[in-house]
Amino acid sequence: MLALYLAVANLEIHAASGLRTVCAAAINALAVVIFAARGVLDYKRGIPMLVAAIAGGYLGAHGVKRLDPQKARLGILIYAWALTAYFFVRLAPG
């Protein structure tokens, strides 16, 4: 998502990171509601994952503030394109 926002929306790294966080939170909250309504949540494993995700998001937000926006943007885009190329090569027939 972050690479998409940086490439298409021409946002700065900080704005793109914030937008990604809001979108990811909304998507995950909807998934939790659906899974909880169906009774398929494993709370024993889910609660520690929730705590770790919140801590990671909090620490990640502080880390992103320290990055130079242009270098971070370039690094994220290079990583996204390299990963995409890797998967295309790996899954290519023959």
pLDDT in tens, the chain (94 residues): 888 888 888 888 888 888 888 999 899 999 999 999 999 999 999 899 989 988 998 898 788 788 888 888 888 889 999 999 999 999 888 6
**What's the token pair of residue 12?**
């700065």
Angle between helices 43-65 and 13-38 (to 10 degrees): 170
DSSP 40-72: ---HHHHHHHHHHHHHHHHHHHHHHHTS-HHHH
Q: Say how many domains are in the chain.
A: 1
For residue 55, count other CB atoms closer than 10 A to its CB: 10
Q: Which residue has the tokens 């946002």?
A: 11
Supply the range of the domain harboring residue 18: 2-91
